[in-house]
Amino acid sequence: MYKLAVLTGGSSGIGLAVARELVKSGTSVILIARRPGPLAEAKASLEQIISGSSSAEVKVRTLALDVSDSRDVKRKLPPFLDETGIPDLLYNGAGIAYPNHFESIPEEMFRQTMEINLGGTWNILSAVIPLMKAAGGGTVVNVSSLAGLIGTYGYTAYAASKFALVGLSQSLRNEMKPDGIDVRILCPPDTDTPQLAEEEKTKPEETRKISGNAGVMAPETVARVLLKGLHRRRFMIIPGFMGKITWLLYRLFPSLVHYLIDSDVRSVRKT
Ligand SMILES: NC(=O)c1ccc[n+]([C@@H]2O[C@H](COP(=O)([O-])OP(=O)(O)OC[C@H]3O[C@@H](n4cnc5c(N)ncnc54)[C@H](OP(=O)(O)O)[C@@H]3O)[C@@H](O)[C@H]2O)c1
């Protein structure tokens, strides 16, 4: 399907699950994240999959990089891609989330969330899009969230960054189409990853009650739905029935969704 994919946030969770599916289908991958330890572990786990298959030419490379540091991205990524070749798939999945009540989210946390989730995506796009254009095209997946479509209780900073990614992706889609670059947006619901486990530490009780209604998806399922969505040339990919129905309900009956959210909040505050 694809020859070479760059995956930011490829060392963990959904990004690693996507990398797994890609190497299984014969795509070489470049994993980008900040910490070398998890990158090395992810590389080893992917190489194990490759060694058990017939696709020995599939390569796994890693690049330790903070996507929010635009100078670092400019300095490290283009020379790296000079060596490896230009990717035909870019997956922008690096992200963080810090849920809490609005007054309990430190300004620094808000800044970091915007700088990594939105700024990081912008920085990587800025480095890769010109190369993809020169190479004749490619596919870009930006990772938003269901919380980037429906403002979720406790996720003010995160939702701001993820809504922004939807706007960025819609505009970019229209702009890149004539240059042969397909831009897509992935909006997963709650998915069982280290990030979700981390969120549990600060997630307000009200958020737990509201999101508890939707369940949690496996990262492998999200990855498979993404690849299927790419194959079907979908712009917005929302994995899972509950995610899709929630989005549909919100578009058709926003007052009903607000009513359900308010009821959950009231029930938590009564106890
Ligand atoms: N899990 C969910 O419920 C859920 C739902 C909807 C959307 N999402 C989105 O899906 C994406 C992946 O989330 P996940 O749950 O799979 O999280 P995860 O397991 O915590 O993985 C996050 C990845 O991003 C990397 N990363 C974070 N900050 C970075 C930075 N500044 N520079 C480079 N890499 C960075 C992490 O590696 P290092 O820490 O080593 O840098 C890691 O590889 C995120 O954008 C998230 O917002 C997740």
- Residues 80-134 have pLDDT tens digits of 999 999 999 999 999 999 999 999 999 999 999 999 999 999 999 999 999 999 9
Which atom of ligand 1 is the closest one to the Cα of 14? 16
Is the four-CA dihedral 14, 95, 170, 110 of positive or negative sign? positive
pLDDT more than 70, % of the chain:
100
Q: Are 203 and 154 in contact (CB under 8 A)?
A: yes
Identify whether 144 is a catalytic site residue.
yes
Residue 202: pLDDT band (50, 70, 90) is very high
Identify whether 162 is a catalytic site residue.
yes
Q: Are 205 and 271 in contact (CB under 8 A)?
A: no
Residue 4 main-chain phi, psi, to 5 deg: -145, 125
- What is the CB-side half-sphere exposure of residue 178 using CA atoms within 13 A? 3
Catalytic site residue from 12, 43, 161, 162? 162
Q: Which residues are near ligand 1 (CB < 6 Å)?
A: 8-9, 11-15, 32-35, 38, 65-68, 93-97, 116, 120, 143, 145, 188, 190-191, 193-196
Average pLDDT, the chain: 96
To which residue do tokens 């917005």 refer? Answer: 236
Q: Rounded to an integer, what distance in angstroms lies between the CA atom of residue 43 and that of residue 26? A: 15
Give start and end residues of each alpha helix (H) in the chain. 13-24, 36-51, 70-84, 107-113, 120-135, 156-176, 194-199, 205-212, 219-231, 241-252, 254-270
- Give the model's pLDDT for residue 68: 98
**Shortest CA distance to 243 belongs to which of 208, 195, 193, 191?**
191
Burial class (CB in 10 A: 0-12, 13-18, 19+), 162: buried
- Give the model's pLDDT for residue 271: 77
To which residue do tokens 């939105």 refer? Answer: 118
Residue 141: pLDDT band (50, 70, 90) is very high
Angle of CA points 234, 231, 177, to nearest 5°: 55
- For residue 213, pLDDT over 70 is answered with no
Q: Are 168 and 143 in contact (CB under 8 A)?
A: no
What token pair was written down for 28?
């070489």
**Shortest CA distance to 29 belongs to which of 234, 13, 39?**
39
- Could you tell me the pTM of the whole model? 0.97
- For residue 56, pLDDT over 80 is answered with no
Pick the CATH number of 4-243 from 3.40.190.10, 3.40.50.720, 3.40.50.300, 3.30.450.20: 3.40.50.720
Which atom of ligand 1 is the closest one to the Cα of 33? 34
pLDDT more than 90, % of the chain:
94
Pocket test for ligand 1, best of 65, 76, 77, 96 (most atoms within 8 A of CB): 96
